[in-house]
Chains A and B, each alone.
Chain A
Amino acid sequence: MEEEKPWALISEVGGPHGYLEELADIVKQHFQIVCYKDFLQNPVLYGSKIQALLNWKYCPAAKPWLLKLLPCLKVVASGGVGIDHLDVPFINSLGAKVANTPGVVSDATADLAMGLLLASARNILEGHQIATDPKTVHIPQNLIGVEVTRATLGIIGMGEIGYKIAQRSKGFEMKVMYHKRTRRSTKDEQAVGASYCENLDDLLRCSDFVMIAVNLTSETSGLIGHRELSLMKPTATLINISRGLIVNQDALLEALQSGTIRAAALDVTHPEPLPRDHPLLELPNVLITPHIGISTITTARGMVKKMVENALAGVKGLPVPNEVHPH
């Protein structure tokens, strides 16, 4: 007889925050799943069985009241690499481990970063809107873009994702500068032709494209504010694929409205989504995507597999491959 599979709490199958069927199937290979809605119908019954909480697109949120209903919880396995939405020390204090999915998200995120850079530089969104608009009579000259080849790319944060962005930009003969808490090895730098900027200000002054690729921490929150934006070139573009809170959004709004910088391309904002009347939504020089950095079927599969791997290890009391420890 097949050993009974351990129980896992998930958000839902289908729906905006849910898993595609094929992704849910990956989970079901190893877990009995309870959807959040069903869990709430009978929290006592399910609560006593659930050993893993699978957190996908921030759902179900690992809030204290929910965690207290899961006395057998051994692991919170999050999909994605960012864990700023999880109180790791608190979860650990309940006897549960926290895991994320680094590595597997890096390619897709780096691809999107380059896509946003190019789409903004070359006005692809506006171009499409004009090309398809029934009222279009002629091409406005303000559709002219800025050159990407041989431009200077300043990467803030050169972890795995930042490094992959540097690798991709090399084919465009971009001059790459980076700023990071700790400098990378000479070998790494030479492999992508990246120069270290000890002073973030220098990177901001020299870059045509500023790419934010850092974790959200207390040090990086509000890292890009009025002063930083004022140091940037008026022809420069800011690209953010990290977390919305790293940028002071009011300062960004002002900088974009006044022409202090040319444009911004954001896969992340704070909050997500922005309120429907937020001024950033109306600016002509802003490209916003709804946090789709990892949204490819290939990467989603990889993430779910890793989540499952982490959750199984946690449930079995084995070392969790991607355990997140408090700093």
Chain B
Amino acid sequence: MGGAGEEQIEKRKRQTQVWRRSERTEGEEEESMRLCNSKKQTMAEDKPWALISEVTEQGFIKEVTDIIKQHFHIICLRDFLQNPQQHGPKIQAILMWNTYPAAEPSLLSSLPSLKVVANGGVGIDHLDVPYITSLGVKVANTPGVVSDATADMAMGLLLASARKIVEGHQIAVDPKTTSIPQSLMGVEVTGSTLGIIGLGHIGYKIAQRSKGFDMKILYHNRHRRSVEDEQSVGASYCENMDDLLRESDFVVLVVNLSPETKGLISHRELSLMKPTATLINVSRGLVVDQDALVKALRSGEIRAAALDVTHPEPLPRDHPLLSLPNVLITPHVGTYTYATTRRMVQCMVDNAVAAVNGQPVPNEVKLK
């Protein structure tokens, strides 16, 4: 790899560390350790051990630790790193949350008993599945359980962008506001055309939700869905994605990140979109060429964008996307509700338990 590439990786690592490093108080530090290492769990029956990043902060919320502790003793990465030789051989599962702890070769090589990397969430583009499975370790994700919350988020972003809810609030609470500007005029959602790129489980649920708004639904997918599915939500197939881009008032990206979908939306695609159109992304940041997006938003080639995902996450603090008036960004919270988080953790734990017991893993990610 060339010098520039390495530099980029280093830069990204530093950014990620800034994002990750929290100014924890001593109390929070103690709390996290306590949650990881409660005496109660060592006294319980002989459960297998799972490695997690942490509880609180970027890790699991404490409200879900009960689900994990039903089946596993847990050890946090910090504690593991105190003595990897002692702890390593016990660990049979990594419970991965928000991409942590990262399944790097250096970590995996210190876990000789590892049976499974169980990811919380459906996207696994951050995992080198061929490599991990080559070590005899299974990979699992949590499809299905994330779909409702993500579809809800997509609709929330669509509506918030179309109706300028964030700007509206900022004006409504600003001490300097004396009158309401005309620029708060938004675009109509009812009866508009929604173009869904990727009609998988999540995309389909977005179609179901948009139906109540009398939206006309177009979709583009690798494979066409059944006539029954299409008719149930009133969705029309666009074999050519360009047609979808030309006709849609709202374009929502709901694809997996893969070599085929990386940079799927770039200069050309944005130029095909209506100048009154809105782009919504709940997939992965890399599906969109961000430089092209910045240009399109600045020039008015499209009206606005609403992004729950970017690349990287978070964006560098001086990134142009952060200061454009017609961009709504949320910090990858598509699945972030209590109910869905609990379901994801339960699903993760079920996958991990199955793997540890040598049973078929419900949501195993297999090599194609």
The reply to whether A146 and B337 form a contact with Cβ atoms under 8 Å apart is yes
The reply to whether A118 and B337 form a contact with Cβ atoms under 8 Å apart is no
List of A residues within 8 angstroms of B185 by Cβ: 20, 295-297, 300
Q: Is B143 an interface residue (CB 8 A)?
A: no
Q: Determine the residue in chain A with the shortest Cβ distance to B152.
A: A148
Indicate whether A292 sits within 8 Å of B168 (C-beta atoms), given known contacts A124-B157, A147-B340. Answer: yes
CB distance from B141 to the nearest CB of A (A): 20
Interface size of B by CB at 8 A reads: 69
The reply to whether A290 and B171 form a contact with Cβ atoms under 8 Å apart is yes
Indicate which residue in B160, B176, B191, B329 contacts A132 across the interface (CB closer than 8 Å): B329
Q: Is B86 an interface residue (CB 8 A)?
A: no
Q: Complex formed: what's the CA distance from A225 to B331 in Å?
A: 35
Q: Is B57 an interface residue (CB 8 A)?
A: yes
The reply to whether A138 and B153 form a contact with Cβ atoms under 8 Å apart is no
List of A residues within 8 angstroms of B160 by Cβ: 115, 118-119, 124
Q: Is B165 an interface residue (CB 8 A)?
A: yes
The reply to whether B317 and A134 form a contact with Cβ atoms under 8 Å apart is yes
Q: Complex formed: what's the CA distance from A138 to B337 in Å?
A: 18
Indicate which residue in A136, A167, A295 contacts B163 across the interface (CB closer than 8 Å): A295
CB distance from A249 to the nearest CB of B (A): 14
A-B contacts, CB under 8 A, total: 205
List of A residues within 8 angstroms of B23 by Cβ: 137
Q: Which of B40-48, B131-139, B206-214 contacts A (4 or more CB under 8 A)?
A: B206-214
Indicate which residue in B18, B163, B187, B188 contacts A137 across the interface (CB closer than 8 Å): B18
CB distance from A176 to the nearest CB of B (A): 11
CB distance from B242 to the nearest CB of A (A): 26
Indicate whether A288 sits within 8 Å of B317 (C-beta atoms), given known contacts A125-B165, A127-B333. Answer: no
CB distance from B59 to the nearest CB of A (A): 9
The reply to whether B153 and A132 form a contact with Cβ atoms under 8 Å apart is no
The reply to whether A289 and B336 form a contact with Cβ atoms under 8 Å apart is no
Q: Is B235 an interface residue (CB 8 A)?
A: no
Indicate which residue in A108, A125, A136 contacts B169 across the interface (CB closer than 8 Å): A125
Q: Is A281 an interface residue (CB 8 A)?
A: yes
Indicate which residue in B169, B189, B314, B322 contacts A288 across the interface (CB closer than 8 Å): B169
Q: Determine the residue in chain A with the shortest Cβ distance to B214.
A: A107
Q: Complex formed: what's the CA distance from A282 to B208 in Å?
A: 36
Q: Determine the residue in chain A with the shortest Cβ distance to B61.
A: A141
Q: Mark A101-120, 1 if CB is under 8 A from B, else 0.
A: 00000011011101110110
The reply to whether A276 and B175 form a contact with Cβ atoms under 8 Å apart is yes
Q: Determine the residue in chain B with the shortest Cβ distance to A134.
A: B317
CB distance from A283 to the nearest CB of B (A): 10
CB distance from B29 to the nearest CB of A (A): 15
Q: Is B296 an interface residue (CB 8 A)?
A: no
CB distance from A240 to the nearest CB of B (A): 13
The reply to whether B159 and A143 form a contact with Cβ atoms under 8 Å apart is no
CB distance from B202 to the nearest CB of A (A): 12
The reply to whether B173 and A131 form a contact with Cβ atoms under 8 Å apart is no
Q: A111-B163, A128-B330 are in contact. List 16 more A-B contacts (CB 8 A).
A: A111-B190, A112-B159, A119-B160, A121-B152, A124-B165, A124-B330, A132-B329, A139-B58, A144-B333, A147-B339, A173-B148, A276-B175, A276-B176, A277-B175, A290-B180, A296-B188
Q: Which residues of A contact B (CB under 8 A)?
A: 14, 16-18, 20, 107-108, 110-112, 114-116, 118-119, 121-125, 127-128, 130-132, 134, 136-139, 141, 143-150, 167-173, 273-274, 276-277, 281-282, 287-292, 295-300
